[in-house]
Structure 1
Amino acid sequence: MGRVRASRPRVRLFCLPQAGGSAASFAPWRLAPPSGVELATVELPGRGVRGTDPLPETMEELADAVIDGISDEFDLPYAIFGHSFGALLGYEIAVGIARRGLTPPRALLVSAARSPHTPVRRRVSDRDDAGLLAWLNSFGGIPSELSRYPAYLRYALRTVRRDLALTEAYLAPGPERVDCPLHVLGGADDPLISGAQLERWRDCAAGEFSLRLLPGGHDYLFTGAPAALDALGTTLR
């Protein structure tokens, strides 16, 4: 797990990446983390330093694996943040934490994702490499300069496809409401997830709920990192 420590941390923020992402996806945040927030960037099985770890076959299994890896870190008040694929994973982690009777998060923050009880509109994980790459490039999913490295590109597409397949197969019954404040963020110009889709996350909140749109598209989190970090810092105060 990557970590950016704060001198006097108020909260530890577990960060979960987008499909195909890793702990390194949040590297730009290390330059200016929100004040008082310790960033804990979670490395998922099958990538980065955990490249040889067994791969969970469902979102629920992946959430259980993450909980097993982070539950010893609940000594500080903490929150969970997930972007896109990571948002659905973050929700399932919050639900799993409640089922286990563990210390609940101070907040769940989800970004640029359909709500867990909304069916997937279309499958993309079964497209061939060219089709999947074209879809990703339509919203800046893979930096164009990395396409010059065939071995990396094959690895990236394999990881993205696996994560998307987990997402497409995942549908939460109910859904279960999380017993902590739920804050939803999104890009105002996101071609994949509309404001109306983000609003459906309200059904997952047992109490406090907020929705905020920031400038940018599906990758607003990285193209507009200062604004995103400011929004996170404000939410966690």
Structure 2
Amino acid sequence: MRSGTWLRRHAAEGGQTVARLVCFPHAGGTAAAFQGWPARLPAGVETLVVQYPGRQDRISEPCIEDMTEMADRVTAVLRDCCDVPLAFFGHSMGSGLAYEVARRLERDHGTVVSRLFVSSRTAPHHVHGEKRHLLSDEDLVASMRALGGPDAEVYDHPQLLPLILPPLRADLRLLDAYRPERAALPRIQAPVTACGGDSDHTCPTADLALWEELTTAGAEVRIHPGGHHFLRTHEADVTDMVSKHLLTLVQTRGDTTDGPS
């Protein structure tokens, strides 16, 4: 599989891959945000986590500040991963990116993801007016601390800020420029599960239902206790929800490949 530096690959337990889960981190985030997931998923599921350029082992690469370019690049990498069913999970910024990649795979390669899980972000055409990339360093750090999440502790180390803030600002610029009109966003054929925290002030729970406008296969909403980064505090509950879907894929795929007895 040609994954290059874009994907962090966690092999399926048992060695045989019958389905894949592709995870898309939040703004400023890294593949480490999903490091605990592979061990919680069913046997037969390979986990692929997108690692955006400009951070950690990709720090020497320029950040991408345009959603079209980011989605095109990720789609090109995932073309070789469509030999088994795919499910997507995107958190915050990753939600919009996961949708854009899903619609490209469907439009250009005839691959419909089995389910699109989106987290802590409303549908792209209902997001307006974010200008966080223009905040001062001090205010940006304060806003990130307020969100909590897997990266919150790093802001307590001033010597790390020159490494952390540039990719964060790049991601926030990408989000600020990504303001598609409804007419520009086709409905995908994949069903959507939109999940969020009940105290997330950045994405009111009522907004999650708006994802239904972007799918022909229906959408459901799942609410969990917590704020914007409820994934961290309720990882077991979220991975259990995702695993139930993946287990269906594994069982179906197993029935198909086993053949008659």
TM-score (norm 2): 0.84
Instruction: Please point out which of 83, 96, 109 is paired with 1:75.
Output: 83
2:9 corresponds to: 3
How far the C-alpha of 1:47 sits from its partner, in A, is: 2.2
What one-letter code is carried by the residue in structure 2 that aligns with 1:230? D
Q: Compare 138-147 and 193-202 and name the one that shifted more.
A: 138-147
Which residue of the partner structure matches residue 65 of structure 1? Answer: 73
- Which of 199, 208, 215 is equivalent to 1:205? 215
Corresponding residue number in structure 1 for 2:229: 219
Residue 60 of structure 1 and its aligned partner are, at CA, apart by 1.0
SS of the counterpart of 1:171? coil
- Residue deviations 1:39-92, cap 9 Å, x none? 111112222333333433310110000111121111111111110000011011
On the 8 A contact 1:34/1:229 being kept in 2, the answer is: no
Task: Could you tell me which runs of 5 or more consecutive residues in structure 1 were left unpaired when the two chains were aligned.
Answer: none
What residue number does 1:129 align with? 137
Separation of aligned partners in 2, 1:142 and 1:224: 12
Counterpart in the other structure of 2:238: 228
Q: Which has the larger radius of gyration?
A: 2
In 2, Cα distance between the equivalents of 1:94 and 1:119? 19
Normalized against structure 1, the TM-score is what? 0.92
Gapped regions of structure 2 (runs ≥ 5): 1-6, 249-261
Return the alpha-carbon distance in structure 1 between the equivalents of residues 44 and 221 of structure 2.
Answer: 23
Partner of 1:93: 101
Mapped partners of 1:149, 1:102: distance in 2? 46
Give the Cα separation in 1 of the matches to 2:151 and 2:192. Answer: 31
Going from structure 1 to structure 2, the CA distance change for 1:34 and 1:131 (only over 3 Å counts) comes to farther
Matches within 5 A, 1:44-55: 44-55=52-63
How many residue pairs match? The answer is 237
**CA root-mean-square deviation:** 1.9
Identity in percent? 34
For 1:24 and 1:201, how far apart are their aligned partners in 2?
A: 27
Whether the 8 Å contact between 1:34 and 1:230 is mirrored in structure 2 is no
Pairwise CA distance, 1:106: 1.3
Q: Establish whether residue 17 from structure 1 lines up as the match of residue 25 from structure 2.
A: yes
Paired residue secondary structure (1:210): strand
**Is 2:188 the partner of 1:178?**
yes
Deviation at 1:105, TM superposition (A): 1.3
